[in-house]
Chain A
Amino acid sequence: MALMQISEPGQSPEPHQRKLAVGIDLGTTNSLVATFRNGSLQVLADEQGRALLPSVVHYADSGSVVVGDEAQSFAAEDPSNTLASVKRLMGRSYADVSATEQLSTYELIDTEGMVSLNTRAGVRSPVQVSAEILRALAERAQQSLGGELQGAVITVPAYFDDGQRQATKDAARLAGLNVLRLLNEPTAAAVAYGLDEKEEGAIAVFDLGGGTFDISVLQMSKGVFEVLSTGGDSALGGDDFDQVIAAWAMEQTGESNLDARQRRQLLDACRAAKECLTSAETAELRVAEQTLSLAREQFNALVDPLIDRAIRACKRALRDAKLSSDDILNVVMVGGSTRVPRVRERVAQWFGREPLVDLDPDKVVALGAASQADQLVGNRSGDETLLLDVIPLSLGIETMGGLTEKVIHRNTTIPVAMAQEFTTFKDGQTAMAIHVVQGERELVDDCRSLARFELGGIPPMVAGAARILVTFQVDADGLLQVSAREETTGVESQIQVKPSYGLSDTDIADMLTASFDAAGEDKEARALREQQVEAEALLQSLSAALLADGEALLSEEEQRELLAKMEQLHNEKASGTAASIARQIEIVGAASETFAERRMDASIKKALAGRRVDEL
C-alpha cells in the first residue's frame, strides 16, 4: 500500500522507542534540567552530582564561555565579565532596569529595544547569555541520556509579559532547542504534584522565590489543569526577609553607616540567620563588632508584614478565580523561601489546610516541565494531561490621548483570538499606526509597550469609510501575533511588525551565524539537516493521519494528490538542498490544509458525541 512506502525501512523510530525530551527551569539564580525516565521524574545532575546549575555565565580571557559553578568562581575576580541574574533583564529595556540593576557588577548598555551587556567577548544580549545557560543544560541532558534531544519544555514565571516570553523562546532557539511549549512555572509545579492524583478540585500554587512572589489558582479535573487566575507581587521575596532582619539588626546595634561591603556582609549574615531559624529556635548574627541573638518569635514578627502582602495577593487571586479559601483542596509550595516555617504556618492558617511540601521546592518546577515534555514529545498515550493557561496581563492598544483600550483581559484562557475594528480619520488615508501595549493601567505610558504596527496598503477612501479588522492572537505559549485586513475591499494589509523587545528573525539569524562561526559548525550543513528533520516530521505525522482518517475524510483523488506531493518531498529530502526541501515542505503543507481542517472538525464532533455518551 502506498502509505507504507513513505518511511524508509529503519528510518522511522521503533514503536516503543522513547523520544528524549526535557523540562528546563531557567531560573534567576539557578537553573535545572529534568526528564522522565525509568518510570519517574528525575532532575539530571552534572558529573559532580550537582543538580542546580547557577545561572551565571563567564566570558573568559581565553575566549571560552564558562557556565554555572565554574563561572561563579570568577564573580569576585572578574565581576564585569561574569554575568548573573540575567533573567531579570530578559525582554527589558535599559530604562526599565537601570534603576533596579544599579548594583550589578557588569556594564549595561542602552541598546534599542532590549538592554545589552558589555563583556570582553563583545556586546551580548540577555537572550544570548540565557542561550549559553540553556546550551549547558542541553549538553548535560544529552550526555546523561545518551542521545539528541527531540524537544524541551521551558518554564517562565506566570507574570512574564509577551516581550519576556519571546526573549525566552528566542534564547532556546539560539541554543538549538526545539521548544515544545513555554510553560508557566506554577502550572509546572502543579503538574509535578498531580502526577499520581486523580482528585478533582482547586489547587493554589504559592511560589515565593528570592525576589518575586507568584500565586496561581488552578482547577484540576480528570487530568485537565485549568489556570483560573494568577497574580502576585513582583517585588516580594526572600531577599526582603533578609532586608527586614538587617534593618532590625542596625536598629538594635545603633549601626547606621555601613559601606557597600559591610552591608553585603550584613545581608549575608541575615540570610544565614534566616536559614538557621528554619530548624533552630534562635540564631546568632554578627553586625560589625557586635553579636546579636535573633529568636524565632522576633523573626516571625519581622516578616509577618511581608507575608501579609503575599496573603493579600492570594485573596485577590481567589477572588479573580471566583473561589474562596475553603474551595482550595491543596496548596503547592514552590521556591526556596517557602522553607521558612512562618510562611508555611501562615499559609496553612489562611487556607485552612497544610500545604504540600513533599517535593523539593527548588526542583518541583523542573520536574513538572519534564512531565509535560515527555507527553508533548509523544511518549505517552491515553491519560494525557491538558494544561490550559491564562494570559497574566491584559493586552491593549493605544487610543486617543495616550489611553489604553483593552482588547484581551488578563486571566483569559489561552489560546485566544480577538478582533477589533479600526477606521481611518482622514480622507485618502492609506496607512495607520497601531501601538500594542500590555498591562492593567489606563495610561499607555504606565503599560509595557509590546510592538508598534504600521498598517499599510489601505485603499484610499473618505475618512471613516475603511473598516480595518485587526486580529490579536495569543498562542498556548502566551505569545502574541497580529494580523489585519481591510474589510470593505478584502485587502490584506501589510503589517510591519516592529517588536519593542523581541528579536526579529534577522537578529536571530545573525546570532545563529555568529554562534556557528564560534563553534566552527557548517551553517549550510546544519540548515540542510534542519530541513530534513522537518520534512521527516511532516511526512510521519501526515502518514499517521492518513492511515487513521484518510479514507474517511478524503476522496480517492484527494488522497492520490496528497500522496504524490508527499512522495516528491520524500525524494527531495533524500537528494535536495535546504531550499528545495523547504519549498516542497511548503507545498505539502498547503496541500494538506483541507485535510487538517476536516480532521479538526471531525475530532470536535467526536468529542461532543463522546460526551453525550458519557452522560447517558
Chain B
Amino acid sequence: MSEGSQLDFFTLLGLEKSYDIDQAALTASYRQLQRSVHPDRFAGGDERQRLLAVQKSAQINEAYETLRSATRRAAYMLKLAGHAVDTSATTFQDPEFLMQQMQLREELSDLHDAEDPEQALDRFYADVDNALTSQRQEFQGFYELGDYDAAKSSYAKLQFLEKLRYEAEQKESELLDF
C-alpha cells in the first residue's frame, strides 16, 4: 500500500476533520489534486503509470464525493469515530419524524393527480430539502457532543430523506416521460 492511499479523506483533501466543511476549499483542493494525478496527465506515459493514475484519481473522486455530500460525510465521520453505521435495519421511535415521513410520502404519492405535477414536484423537493437541512444540524449537534448513538439515529433519518428524494427523482422520470 502506498502512503497516499492510507490517508483519511479529510487529510487527503487538506481539510480539518469537521462536519461543517468549507465547500469552496474542498473543491479547490480537489481540483488541484486531480490536476496532478488525473490519467490525462499521463496520456503519453506507459500503461502502468496510467493504471496507477486511474486508481489514484478514482480514490480522490471518492474522497471528494464522500465529503461533498452532507449525508455521506455524516456516515464517513461516524465510521472514522469507530461507529460505522449498519444501513440495513433501522427502526424509529421518534413519532415526530414518523409523522413527517408519512406526510412527505403522501405528498409524493399524490403527485400524479396534482393539477400541475411539475410544480407539485418542485414543492416536494423544497419540503424534503428543508427537512434535510434541519436534520443535518441535528446530526452535527449530536456528533460534536460525542453522543454517537443519537448521531447514528440522526444519520438514519438523513438516509430516509435522501431515499425519498431519490424516489421523487424516479417519479419525475415517469411523470415527465424520459
Contact = CB atoms under 8 A, between A and B. Distances in A.
**Interface SS, B side:** helix
A231 B32 CA distance: 27
Interface stretch (A260-268, A336-344, A607-615): A607-615
Contacts of A611: 14, 28-29, 32
Contacts of B49: 541, 596
Nearest to A534: B46
Interface in B114-157: 125
Interface stretch (A141-149, A414-422, A449-457): A414-422
B105 interface: no
Contacts of A606: 36
A476 B38 contact: yes
B43 A604 contact: no
A196 interface: no
A180 interface: yes
A601 B2 contact: yes
B76 to A, nearest CB: 15
Contacts of B31: 221-222, 224, 226, 386
Nearest to B47: A589
Contact of A388 (B2, B4, B38, B43): B38
A414 B61 contact: yes
B34 A475 contact: no
B37 to A, nearest CB: 6
A386 B39 CA distance: 10
Interface in A553-612: 585, 589-590, 592-593, 596-598, 600-601, 603-604, 606-608, 610-612
B95 interface: no
A198 to B, nearest CB: 15
B14 A417 contact: no
Contacts of B37: 600, 603-604, 607
Interface in B33-75: 33-40, 43-49, 52-59, 61-62, 64-65
B65 to A, nearest CB: 7
B35 A592 contact: no
A475 B64 CA distance: 17
Nearest to B176: A312
Nearest to B42: A541
Nearest to A378: B44
B172 interface: yes
Interface in B148-170: 169
B92 interface: no
Question: Interface range on chain A: under 10, 10 to 19, 20 to 34, or 35 or more?
Answer: 35 or more
Interface string A404-435: 00000000111111000000000000000000
Nearest to B7: A604
Contact of A542 (B28, B46, B65): B46
B44 A604 contact: no
A234 to B, nearest CB: 9
Contact of A603 (B3, B36, B46): B36
A462 B167 CA distance: 38
A605 to B, nearest CB: 8
A388 B37 CA distance: 12
A431 B2 CA distance: 32
Contacts of B48: 589-590, 592-593, 596
B31 to A, nearest CB: 5
Contacts of B27: 221
Contacts of B64: 413
A191 B30 CA distance: 20
A615 B25 CA distance: 9
Interface residues of B, number: 44
A316 B62 CA distance: 24
Interface in A199-215: none
Contact of B40 (A181, A231, A417, A474): A181
A541 B44 contact: yes
B171 to A, nearest CB: 12
B178 A316 contact: yes
Contacts, number: 129
B127 to A, nearest CB: 15
A284 interface: no
A387 interface: yes
B173 interface: yes
A233, A319, A387 — most chain B CB neighbours (10 Å): A319
Given A316-B178, A376-B40, A541-B49, A608 B32 contact: yes
B23 to A, nearest CB: 11
A479 B53 CA distance: 15
A378 to B, nearest CB: 5
A463 interface: no
A85 B169 CA distance: 33
B62 A597 contact: no
Contacts of A231: 178
Contact of A151 (B33, B43, B57, B58): B43
Contacts of A590: 48
B4, B28, B44, B45 — most chain A CB neighbours (10 Å): B44
Interface in B53-111: 53-59, 61-62, 64-65
B46 A538 contact: yes
A386 B34 contact: yes
A313 interface: yes
Given A316-B172, A600-B56, A610-B32, A181 B61 contact: no
A217 to B, nearest CB: 16
A112 to B, nearest CB: 30
A224 B59 contact: no
A388 B53 contact: no
B4 A604 contact: yes
Contacts of A375: 40
Contacts of A589: 46-48
Contacts of B178: 231, 233, 313, 316
B24 to A, nearest CB: 10
A378 B44 CA distance: 7
A173 B18 CA distance: 48
13 contacts: A222-B31, A231-B178, A316-B178, A378-B44, A388-B38, A417-B58, A475-B39, A476-B54, A541-B45, A600-B2, A604-B36, A607-B35, A612-B14
Q: List the 4 closest A-B pairs by CB distance, nearest first.
A: A376-B43, A417-B58, A603-B36, A601-B4
Interface of A: 151, 180-181, 221-222, 224, 226, 231, 233, 312-313, 316, 319, 375-378, 384, 386-388, 412-417, 440, 473-476, 537-538, 541-542, 585, 589-590, 592-593, 596-598, 600-601, 603-604, 606-608, 610-612, 614-615
Given A416-B58, A417-B59, 15 more contacts: A222-B31, A375-B40, A376-B40, A413-B64, A415-B58, A416-B62, A417-B58, A589-B47, A592-B46, A598-B2, A600-B4, A604-B37, A606-B36, A607-B35, A611-B32
